[in-house]
Structure formats: C-alpha cells, structure tokens
C-alpha cells in the first residue's frame, strides 16, 4: 500500500492550483488554506534520494556505500533512520549529522576517519566505524549516547578508550578487536553482554576492572600477548558463557600462576575456548557438550551493512581486511578430535612437541604450533634454527607425567579387578 511518498509532484501542483481557483472569492481564507496545504505536501515533494545513493522504505533507508565519497552527500531527508556510508573516503563528519534526529543505524566502516565524529545523533542504536584510523576514544565521544546498543570500533589503531561512569546504559555489544590495546579497558559500561578484544597486544587485566560487568556473557581475548592473569580476575563475571583464551603466549613454566588459571578454567560454568597450556582446546562447560553438537565461534566483527559477503576479499576488500570482517567457524568434532588433522603425538625435526591448539584465524579452527615448554629447560634454552618456536601452548612436563601415570594406575587396577 502506498504511503504517499511517491505521488507525482506535478499532480500535486495541479490539485493545489485548482483549489486556489475555487477559493478565490474567499481570498484570505483561501491563502491560509493554500499555505497549509503546500506546507504539508511540500514535505512529500522534497522526499528525494541523493543521486549517488540508493534508497528504500520511503527514502528513509539510505545506502551510500562504495561511492567514492569524500564528503556527506547532499539531499538526505531529515527523517532518515538508516545510513550506510561505508567504503568511502570520508575524513571527518564532525557535527554534520547532528540534525538527523531519527537516525538509528550509522555505518562509517572503512573510511579515513582519524577521530570519532562529534555531534552524532543521540537517538542512534548502532554505530559501526570499523576499519578507520581512530587512535583514541575520549569520554565526551560517547557521553550522551544513552540509546546506543552496539558500538563496533574494530580494525582501527585504538590504544586508549575512556568511558565515564554510568554512561552508555543501553550498550550491550562492544567490539574493540584488531586494535593496539595493551591493557583491557577499565570502566566499561556495566550492561555489556559481549566484549571483543581479540587480536590486540593485551598483556594485562587490572584486578577489579571486570567486577562491574555482571551481565557479560561473551568475552573474546584470543590472539593477544597474555602470559598470565591475576588470580580471581574472572570471578565476578557471574553471567559468563564463553571465554576465548587461545593463541596467547602463556607462561606455562610458571606453575603457581598457570595452575590457578587452569583450575579456574576447569571448574567454571563458562565454556573456555583455547584452554591455556592444555592439550584439550576447550575446558570448563565445554566438556558437558552433548555428542554430535557443534561449537560455533565467531568474532563479533560484522561486514559493513551494505557489503555483499560474496565480494569479501574480491574487489571491495583487501584479503587482510576480508579476514577481519569474515566470521570464523569451528565445529566441536574438530575441537575434540585433533587426530583428524594429524598425529597429536608426532614430533618435528627439531624434537619439539607438536600440539593442536585452538586459534581464532577465520576459516581455520586448529593449527599446529611448535613448543619448547614440554622439554627440559636445558633443551628449551638452546637456539633452534630449524623451526619457529613458541611457548604459547606447551604442556608443562609434570602435569603431563601425572596424567599419564594416573591413566596407567587406572588401567592396572581395572585388569586386576578382572
């Protein structure tokens, strides 16, 4: 059913002219009525779409992606609700969008923005600014976005974000993956349900910095530089369902620190993907998964709203950026049966133990990594020129020996029983 936005403007003018002739004897009243009529119908005549964009739903959904734009296109309606400006060459939009009070979704992904635009509409629900050149997020950038639900700042150059207490009360998804953070941001909005900090340079989590996130359900920390985390740092995350810790250089030889983390990971109700220093790539609730089920893993990063997934990595996106916006998939059978990808007990030419571990690279669930932590320390200190070494995912020797010994004792006992 037509909503009246597509009426012929010439027909509207003809009707207005005839009405004016009919009411000519009552000139004052006719003029007033004509002005009111033109005011109402004038809004319909001005319901246009910028020439470089495509529009739908009464011109309130506007797609201006991949149009080689360097500035905001003219002719946007004041009542637009959805605006896609991704894959252009926009350098700044400060205070240029503030009067679009009905705007709910704004996609600025993959432009040339050096800072977060100021004066964005406070009615926004979803802001996506992935793939720009943002270096910092200041407290005033998000202080008044009470309605914001999703904020995607992935694939930028962020090193610092500052949030004010009790701001962003509606925010439930925060994507800061593929940036340059060294420390997990503090004072994050307390109603968050998903935080993605994968693929950064994180080395520490300040004790107590996660205590105000009781609703956090998915926490992605894989592909960083953690070697240890403070004891009890995850204890207050009562709603946690998924935690990813894979592809981090855990200091597996430091028994005291790593043992505490392993004990927590073993007993937590959450599913821990990429259990540190352990042969199983999952621990925690993952052991309770029903046979035949599947574990799905994906970075929260999504393609720009106007992008066609078939074009990722072909024409529109470079391969490295396509890897950022493409979701990864990992089947549980692959997680729990690494033998299907090779012999888990095999050794390479340098004598290093080869393990299958969970990593987050899209489209790849398991990968082989060489490790020296499974060897005596004297061997581990020798320089290895034959292969790349990493202590990220080794199994500490005493732990491995104790597991093997326990299995032998159980087997012998079972034979004696028969």
Q: Is 163 exposed, middle or buried (0-12, 13-18, 19+ CB in 10 A)?
A: buried
**Whole-number Å distance between alpha carbons of 66 and 109:** 11
Each residue of 235-265: pLDDT tens digit?
999 999 999 999 999 999 988 888 899 999 9
Please report the pLDDT score of residue 281 as a whole number: 80
Whether the predicted pLDDT of 272 surpasses 60:
yes
Each residue of 8-40: pLDDT tens digit?
444 444 444 454 445 545 556 655 555 565 554
Each residue of 182-201: pLDDT tens digit?
999 999 999 999 999 999 99
**SS3 label, residue 275:** coil
Please report the pLDDT score of residue 48 as a whole number: 86
**Whole-number Å distance between alpha carbons of 385 and 389:** 9
State the distance between the two ends of the chain, measured CA to CA, in whole angstroms: 79
Whether the predicted pLDDT of 94 surpasses 50:
yes
In DSSP terms, 366 is beta-bridged to: 358
Each residue of 95-122: pLDDT tens digit?
999 999 999 999 999 999 999 999 999 9
Position with higher pLDDT, 264 vs 313: 264
> Rg (Cα) of the chain, in Å, rounded?
29
Please report the pLDDT score of residue 309 as a whole number: 38
Whether the predicted pLDDT of 350 surpasses 90:
no
Residue 323: phi, psi to the nearest 5? -65, -30
Whether the predicted pLDDT of 267 surpasses 70:
yes
Q: What average pLDDT does the segment 134-148 reach?
A: 95
Q: What average pLDDT does the segment 369-376 reach?
A: 32
Half-sphere exposure of 278 (CA within 13 A, CB side): 21
CB atoms within 10 A of CB 275: 24
**Whole-number Å distance between alpha carbons of 223 and 361:** 9
**Residues found in the chain:** 418
Whether the predicted pLDDT of 162 surpasses 50:
yes
Full-prediction pTM beyond 0.75?
no
Helix axis angle, 9-22 to 27-45, nearest 10°: 170
Q: Is 416 exposed, middle or buried (0-12, 13-18, 19+ CB in 10 A)?
A: exposed
What is the sign of the dihedral through the CA atoms of 379, 385, 391 and 395? negative
Q: Are 211 and 189 in contact (CB under 8 A)?
A: no
Q: What is the DSSP letter of 299?
A: -
């Amino acid at each position: 059913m037509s909503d009246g936005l597509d009426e012929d403007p010439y027909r509207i003018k003809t009707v207005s002219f005839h009405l004016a002739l009919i009411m000519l004897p009552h000139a004052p009243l006719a003029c007033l009525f004509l002005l009111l009529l033109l005011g109402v119908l004038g809004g319909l005549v001005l319901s246009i779409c910028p020439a470089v964009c495509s529009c739908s739903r009464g011109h309130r959904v506007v797609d201006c992606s991949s149009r080689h734009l360097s500035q905001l296109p003219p002719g946007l309606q004041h009542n637009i609700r959805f605006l896609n400006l991704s894959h252009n060459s926009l350098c700044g939009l400060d205070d240029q969008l503030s009067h679009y009070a009905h705007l709910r979704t704004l996609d600025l992904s993959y432009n040339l923005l050096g800072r977060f635009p100021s004066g964005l509409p406070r009615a926004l629900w979803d802001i996506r600014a992935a793939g720009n050149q943002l270096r910092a997020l200041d407290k005033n950038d998000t202080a008044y976005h009470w309605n914001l639900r999703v904020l995607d700042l992935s694939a930028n150059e962020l090193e610092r974000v500052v949030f004010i207490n009790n701001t962003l009360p509606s925010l439930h998804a925060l994507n800061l993956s593929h940036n340059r953070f060294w420390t997990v941001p503090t004072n994050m909005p307390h109603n968050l349900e998903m935080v993605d900090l994968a693929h950064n340079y994180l080395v520490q989590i300040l004790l107590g910095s996660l205590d105000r996130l009781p609703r956090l359900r998915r926490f992605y920390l894989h592909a960083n530089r953690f070697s240890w985390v403070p004891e009890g740092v995850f204890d207050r995350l009562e709603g946690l369902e998924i935690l990813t810790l894979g592809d981090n250089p855990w200091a597996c030889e430091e028994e005291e620190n790593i043992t505490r983390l392993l004990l927590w990971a073993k007993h937590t109700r959450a599913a821990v993907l990429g259990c540190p220093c352990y042969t199983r790539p999952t621990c925690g609730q993952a052991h309770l998964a029903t046979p035949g089920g599947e574990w799905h893993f994906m970075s929260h990063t999504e393609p720009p709203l106007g992008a066609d997934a078939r074009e990722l990595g072909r024409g529109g996106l470079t391969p490295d950026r396509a890897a950022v916006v493409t979701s990864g998939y990992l089947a549980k059978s692959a997680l729990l049966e690494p033998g299907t990808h090779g012999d888990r007990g095999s050794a390479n030419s340098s004598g290093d133990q080869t393990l299958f571990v969970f990593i987050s690279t899209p489209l790849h669930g398991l990968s082989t990594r060489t490790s020296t932590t499974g060897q005596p320390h004297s061997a581990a200190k020798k320089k290895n020129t034959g292969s790349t070494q990493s202590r990220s995912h080794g199994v500490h020797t005493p732990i491995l020996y104790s597991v093997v010994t326990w299995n032998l004792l159980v087997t012998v006992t079972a034979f004696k029983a028969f």
